[in-house]
Structure 1
Amino acid sequence: MKQFLLTFSMTKPKWIFIITLLLTAITGAMIPNIVVDTDPENMLAEDQSSRLYHNEVKDRFDLYDIIVVGAVNNSEQGIYNPRSLQAIKQLTDGIAEIEGVVAPDMMALSTVDNISQEGPGTIRFEWLMSEAPESQGEADWINQQVERLPLLQDTLASSDDKATAIYVPIIDKDESYRISQEIEALIGRLDSDDEYHITGLPVAEDTFGYQMFVQMGISAPLAALVIFILMWVFFRNLKFIAAPMIIAMATVIITMGLLIGMGFTVHIMSSMIPIFLMPIAVVDSIHIMSEFSDNYKPGRDRKEVIKEVIGHLFTPMLYTSVTSAVGFFSLLLTPIPPVQIFGAYVGFGILLAFLLTIIFIPAYLIALKPKALASLQTEAKQQGRLQKGLKKIGKGSLAASKLVTVLFMAVVALSIWGITQIQINDNPVRWFKADHKIRVADKVLNNHFAGTYDAYLVLEADESEAKETWMRAVNTIEDKSLKNEVITIMQNDNQLTTQLNQVMMLLEDKLFDATGEQAEVLEDLIMRADEARIKVAYFQRPEILHEIEQLQQALADSGYVGKSNSLADVVKTVTRELKTGQPKDFVIPNNQNGVAQALLQYQSSHRPQDLWHMVTKEYSSTAVWLQLTSGDNQDMTQVVEFVDQYFADNPLPEGVKAQWAGKSYLNMVWQDEMVAGMLDSLMSAFVVVLLMMIILFRSVLFGLLAMLPLSITILFIYGLIGWVGKDYDMPIAVLSSLTLGLSIDFAIHFLERAREIFKQTGDFKKTMVKMFEEPASAISRNAIVIAVGFTPLLFAPLVPYITVGFFLATIMAASAAVTLVLLPVALKGTRRWAFKPQDQAKI
């Protein structure tokens, strides 16, 4: 196959150019169909259990994703002044008109009820701020009412009276950025000196998507420009530079075109594919062009030189490409779909770049005129300074081999210590720089309120026992006609409570005309149906609401949660106003009828739907809304672990289970899955690459030597992460496979060339002298090209891009340093086993 491709490319260069151009044009035409996706929910597979349950809970309790708008007035007067509240009312009314906003569910001072006592046993629901206040007295009255409503305090208004919030539920979280821009436009038209901030996970994620799209269009061309300039510094020959740049551009366009054309969305990881492939794709072509310019002399048959160069480089280039691809393909083992797609397409792009290099570069060299070929010789003259430095490194490392060994052992020890300091954590809001308006808003609003991050602890009671008890009673009915009617009702698709209500209505209608024994039977059935209905309405029971109340208090005392809101808070608030309106009556009623009465009263408010955000209509499931001041996975993990321990010490009643939902919880789940998946993929790929190295070199020793730079680089990079205190987040997690895929390339070239040169010289010292000429120069140039190729990411406004740019440049520098400094020392120490026995006398 190698010979066929080489022959075809040299005999039919025009066909190679046409095929490459057509393939690039066809796939490039697919790129305008790009769809960007930054929803962390999609980090989990569609059928992942936590994701399915999260969406089930959203449907069950009619919950929406929320944008949080905050107004802050840090003056002594605070937010409760006529001018500020007038602006809030105007802004709230304007937001309600924005397309995509669920206006009835908006929470703001002007859209919620004030719950007060109108008289003994009578409760009054009135809009808290139906009109903006005209006087300070009216503003103070609103302040006083908010302080009496626990559901609003520190949620809708800060306890320091400096801030108020508007919770904006939206139909589609993918519209968050557009809606936030319209809200900003409304804020710009307000007559207010207050500070306004917009935050929330949906707007952070969608804004990141918008800026990611812009960044993707900037970073890849910048990388191409940087690589072009760098190669010009190295080679000073446009014809030399043109070939690698064509390979890189074609690789990026074909890979991204295929990804988009096959219907995949561009996530945060896949948006980095161009910047990854751009520097990687030029490496093999630089190797071929460099060696060709070294070996070609005017008058020589260029085809013979090309065959000779490809013959030398094909195997190491193939193995470096395959091992790099394996490192990225290992990401397919993770349970994170966007990471799988990223790994698959970068791996494909690396193999594509190798194939294009093998067929395009020979065709390109054949197509050049003799004068252009002669000009390639100028490239060899530009390497004097670099090669002088490399020769000093080679001599120095071998002369101080013991010191080098001790230094690297120290680096390994310190790296292992650093790894133990790594903390697993991520937060989509922190994907922006610290001075970004979303980061600023997040900090300000979470300092004033109980938290802008949501999590839901869902408690569910098992209905099966109540239904089984009731159906046993149904089976005792002797009247076949009545029995069939009841069974028909019980077989419909309604909820159990609705079914029981319908049955009771049927039985009460029949009781109206019944007498004697028949009436007794109907009365008994009505009583049993009512008992079943009461059992199903589990979360109307006072003792259960007391348990929820105790859990909320424990959460508040833990300090892990800013605030929690539950059905118990609604019941206590309404009960207080039904009684005396005094704090002493802010309690849960003593019986289920009292709870039911309080909830029935609440349903006559202006916002009865708020109740069904907390409990299902049959009262068999309830959601405790937790507000967190941080979206960090570590903080959500602490909450989950605390609740687990609480339930271990205070077991839930039999038949009741607790599960989690909410975006903060989902972020924790996919982060945990990613960490475990990355570890599996790294270990699997490490073993595969080791086996490949043993097969390539046909030597266990050389296979292990090849893994040395890779292993030390991985340890060093993750040790560095621990040293600097960088959280182990999504970009960092992916670096493990990138390190594995890229770090071994230099070792393969170094060891393969060392073995070939040793066959010619039969002397270890002479081999090392020659190794630090052209081979070490090629390795260094490639390391610099790849490392510098990632530097445009350092100037990105988005933190994940900066992280990847910095650490990938560091990976390249570290792996090249280990290859050029430690591998000669390792070969020196193992030279008696590393080379053939017949040559040992010359070592």
Structure 2
Amino acid sequence: MGEIKFKKYGRVVLLLFIVATLYLGYKISVVSFDYDLEKFFPKDDKETDFFLSYREKFSSDNDFILISVESNNGIFNEPFLNRIDSLTKEIQKIKNISFVNSITNQEEFFVSSFFTVSKPYIDFTDFSPKRDSARIYKNEELINSLVSKNAKSICLFIKHKDYISKYESDKLIVDLNNSLKKYSFHNFRMAGRIIGQKYYIDKMTFDMSLFIGLSAFLMILFLFIAFKSLWGILIPQVIILSSIIWIVGGMGVFDQSINIVLTVLPLIMFIVAMSDVIHLVSRYLDALRVEENIFKAILISVKEVGMATFLTSITTSIGFFSLYFVNIQPIKTFGIVMGIGVLIAFFLTFLILPILFNIFPGPKYIIEKKENHFWTKYLSLFFIKIINNKRIISIVTGIVLLISVIGLSKINTNNFLMDDLKDNEPIKLDFQFFDQYYGGVRPFEIAVSIKDTSYSVWSNEVLNKMDSIEMYLTKYYGVSIKNSLVKTLKIANRSHHSGNSDYYLLPKSQRKIRKYRRSIRLVDGGDFVNSIIDSSENIARIMGTIPDLGNKIISEKNRELFQFINANNLDDILDFKLTGSSHLVDKNLKYLSISLVKGLGISILIVALIIGFIYRSYMILLISIITNLIPLIFIAGIMGFVGIELKTSTSIIFTIAFGIAVDDTIHFLGKFKYELLKGKDKIYALKRTYLTTGKAMILTTLILCSGFLLLIFSSFLGTFYLGLLLCITLFVALIADLTILPILLLVLYKPKLMRK
């Protein structure tokens, strides 16, 4: 394209770019934050399909709120209980509340042959702390469920409608807080899915705003240091900011929300776009020093850095795209969005920046570039030391890798509900309180299915086997069973024996079971029984909660549970199946290591094919892969020794680091090949490559590390570790490129005879 056509079409392209940017900027306003636990369920999975079908039969296992109110003087004082009762009644009236269970609205039933009477556990007409507390604490289903064992707090179990929207859930939380303040309750704690969702989304919003602000500051600082002019600050900013607008606005166009992993998007886009822009602007300013014609200076800069920047953009995007093979939807989304973002940054840099160069040529006076004796001096000394000590360096590298492999073997896979929050976060402390005093917040579900159709869930043999399971779960697993058919029948049996707690047992005869069944089917117009058994009466539900012990411990408890089932022959006529939202998240984590290795392997393979195609050498391909596996093995060893567990947030480190770290290797190999093509011998070509690319590699790594280091200011531990570990990985990758790569090229690579 000639200069005239470039100017003519350049203005048209710039106009289209402005229109597109304004439109995408508008679409940012429709982008929302999302913290949907179901996005972490395994996709195309039989257990997920089973749970979704199971949930349709019953209800969600996760749509409830727990509110604990503490009393310094103990809970059995009348003014406190009166306020609790008023609070309970007011919460029941709030929109989207299905029901509220509180010790002040619960009754004990006494059934005789002639009549049924009920008596509230807290009798406000004749309140007696001693008598009422004794009645409550003899019934084990109330302890650590509605009242704490130490009698210092009361818990309200609030069931809200399933799957309410973000707006409705936020409104519900506001109404609950207002009700608590109205009755002067200040020492209270709340937990539940929508409580965690709101807290996480608020933190995500704060983090994203923080990263945008820090990115803007860092961007201006780097541009000023690099170009020391107003032009050098403003023109590059157009591309960097536009890249962020395009990718976030694009998410709005496709109705894609920002999940917890994508909160780092602005910062990573800033880092990627900054790298592309600095390469092109630096080369353009260099060209202006020797070329008066602006169009020719643009052509020179695009020609010289275009292909190398394109290749590094491709390898970086491949690193992100490989996350598609991690079977966790938020990670997949993150990989796709960031991969596209990297390509958008490259596209805008090389399409729009040259047009801006033409319209705004740059500083009128370009200072003649001076020889940088500092870099030349120390890089030369460093290169000589590496060549002279290649044996020692190789041995040290081997020892470090061996130690790292040992550390790698110590990496654990684990997951907690409040995993990403720091220990001093208020909501994490609240959840831990419920773990300690109320059996936890983490849902626990077992579906019990009848194998032999000659039985039903009401059969004595079936109920006895279910009772054995429930006793095991309570005693050894640590489950606080909230609802089940066995528990309901035990309460009914106690009621038919004047509330005597000795009869909190399954009825022994089938005749009594049939009698109790008629009563249970009438509770809440039949809605209650439908919450614990399905319409066919072939599937029963055991529902409870457990403390958040972590995926590792829970997996071991699950193994022991099924050992108990097999050892006691409980599965001869029954099928026991763990299910529920938490179980599915745990299951997905088990596949994390496999999908991570798969994604990383595909990333390495594609990058290897690209390098092999460009350099037409199997040895170059092998050398580049070895060099870039070193930092990955090293950081895995660090994680193992320090105890940083492999989880959703830390799993993406390896593929991102590989995609970015390989960029320096490509630049180094490209310059090395160029020197060989000039007819230089191998050692001279290596030295020239080292001196010319060494400085750029060091500065680029410093920029990348500075950007990623900002992630340590995140509210989330996962993001904190992501930033810290990426910085370490990229630094180790730089060391490998400046030490191991030259040694491997010198020892292993045999260049063919090349013409000058």
TM above 0.5, yes or no, is yes
Aligned to 1:472: none
**For the structure 1 residues 695 and 299, does the alpha-carbon distance in structure 2 shift closer, same or farther, using more than 3 Å as the test?**
closer
Q: State the alpha-carbon separation in 1 of the partners of residues 696 and 658 from structure 2.
A: 20
- Pairwise CA distance, 1:782: 1.7
The one of 262, 265, 268 aligned to 2:260: 268
- Pairwise CA distance, 1:562: 4.9
Q: 2:148 is aligned with what amino acid? A: S
The yes-or-no answer on 1:748 pairing with 2:674 is no
Gaps of 5+ in 1: 467-534
Q: 1:348 is aligned with what amino acid? A: I
**For the structure 1 residues 771 and 8, does the alpha-carbon distance in structure 2 shift closer, same or farther, using more than 3 Å as the test?**
farther
The one of 456, 460, 463 aligned to 1:542: 460
Question: Secondary structure, in 3 states, of the residue corresponding to 1:215?
Answer: helix
Question: Secondary structure, in 3 states, of the residue corresponding to 2:183?
Answer: coil
Q: 2:133 is aligned with what amino acid? A: N
The yes-or-no answer on 1:418 pairing with 2:407 is yes
Aligned to 1:85: 81
Alignment of 1:587-598 (within 5 A): 587-598=505-516
The one of 451, 460, 465 aligned to 2:449: 460
- Pairwise CA distance, 1:41: 0.5
Alignment of 1:137-286 (within 5 A): 137=128, 139-171=129-161, 172-173=163-164, 174=166, 175-192=168-185, 195-286=187-278
Range with greater deviation from structure 2 (11-20 or 590-599):
11-20
**For the structure 1 residues 827 and 237, does the alpha-carbon distance in structure 2 shift closer, same or farther, using more than 3 Å as the test?**
farther
Alignment of 1:266-345 (within 5 A): 266-345=258-337
- Pairwise CA distance, 1:550: 1.2
Aligned pair count reads 752
- Pairwise CA distance, 1:294: 3.4
The yes-or-no answer on 1:798 pairing with 2:716 is yes
Q: State the alpha-carbon separation in 1 of the partners of residues 342 and 36 from structure 2.
A: 27
Aligned to 1:487: none
The yes-or-no answer on 1:109 pairing with 2:107 is no
Aligned to 2:59: 62
Assess if the C-alpha contact under 8 Å between 1:121 and 1:579 holds in 2: no
Aligned to 1:50: 47
Assess if the C-alpha contact under 8 Å between 1:10 and 1:303 holds in 2: no
Question: Secondary structure, in 3 states, of the residue corresponding to 1:790?
Answer: helix
Assess if the C-alpha contact under 8 Å between 1:67 and 1:168 holds in 2: yes
Aligned to 1:509: none
Q: State the alpha-carbon separation in 1 of the partners of residues 662 and 152 from structure 2.
A: 57
TM (norm. structure 1) is: 0.83
Q: 1:600 is aligned with what amino acid? A: R
Assess if the C-alpha contact under 8 Å between 1:419 and 1:722 holds in 2: yes
Q: 2:234 is aligned with what amino acid? A: A
Aligned to 1:809: 727
Q: State the alpha-carbon separation in 1 of the partners of residues 676 and 309 from structure 2.
A: 20
Which one has the largest radius of gyration? 1
Q: 1:163 is aligned with what amino acid? A: S
Q: State the alpha-carbon separation in 1 of the partners of residues 194 and 636 from structure 2.
A: 31
The yes-or-no answer on 1:409 pairing with 2:409 is no
Gaps of 5+ in 2: none
**For the structure 1 residues 735 and 318, does the alpha-carbon distance in structure 2 shift closer, same or farther, using more than 3 Å as the test?**
same
Deviations 1:764-803 (A, max 9, x none): 4443443344422222222222221223322122333323
Q: State the alpha-carbon separation in 1 of the partners of residues 50 and 3 from structure 2.
A: 55
Deviations 1:624-681 (A, max 9, x none): 1232110632343234323332333234455532223322112213323444332221
Range with greater deviation from structure 2 (592-601 or 305-314):
305-314
Assess if the C-alpha contact under 8 Å between 1:91 and 1:187 holds in 2: yes
Aligned to 2:736: 818
Q: 2:83 is aligned with what amino acid? A: A
Q: State the alpha-carbon separation in 2 of the partners of residues 397 and 123 from structure 1.
A: 91
Q: 1:541 is aligned with what amino acid? A: S
Assess if the C-alpha contact under 8 Å between 1:205 and 1:428 holds in 2: no
- Pairwise CA distance, 1:166: 1.2
- Pairwise CA distance, 1:9: 5.2
Aligned to 2:365: 374
The one of 520, 524, 542 aligned to 1:624: 542
Assess if the C-alpha contact under 8 Å between 1:306 and 1:362 holds in 2: yes
Q: 1:800 is aligned with what amino acid? A: G
Identity %: 17
Aligned to 2:34: 37
Question: Secondary structure, in 3 states, of the residue corresponding to 1:548?
Answer: helix
**For the structure 1 residues 152 and 391, does the alpha-carbon distance in structure 2 shift closer, same or farther, using more than 3 Å as the test?**
farther
The one of 330, 343, 347 aligned to 2:339: 347
Assess if the C-alpha contact under 8 Å between 2:123 and 2:132 holds in 1: no
TM (norm. structure 2) is: 0.91
Aligned to 2:643: 725
Alignment of 1:763-774 (within 5 A): 763-774=681-692
Deviations 1:219-264 (A, max 9, x none): 1242132132133234423323434332221111111111221122
Q: State the alpha-carbon separation in 2 of the partners of residues 310 and 443 from structure 1.
A: 57
**For the structure 1 residues 311 and 804, does the alpha-carbon distance in structure 2 shift closer, same or farther, using more than 3 Å as the test?**
same
- Pairwise CA distance, 1:602: 4.2
Question: Secondary structure, in 3 states, of the residue corresponding to 1:540?
Answer: coil
Alignment of 1:451-600 (within 5 A): 451-462=440-451, 465=453, 535=455, 538-563=456-481, 565-579=483-497, 581-600=499-518
Aligned to 1:517: none
Aligned to 1:523: none
Q: State the alpha-carbon separation in 2 of the partners of residues 663 and 55 from structure 1.
A: 10
Assess if the C-alpha contact under 8 Å between 2:418 and 2:428 holds in 1: yes
Q: 2:583 is aligned with what amino acid? A: Y
The one of 340, 356, 363 aligned to 1:364: 356
Question: Secondary structure, in 3 states, of the residue corresponding to 1:730?
Answer: coil
Q: State the alpha-carbon separation in 1 of the partners of residues 383 and 7 from structure 2.
A: 38
- Pairwise CA distance, 1:68: 1.4
Aligned to 2:117: 124
Question: Secondary structure, in 3 states, of the residue corresponding to 1:573?
Answer: helix
Aligned to 1:672: 590
Report the RMSD for the aligned CA atoms in angstroms.
3.0
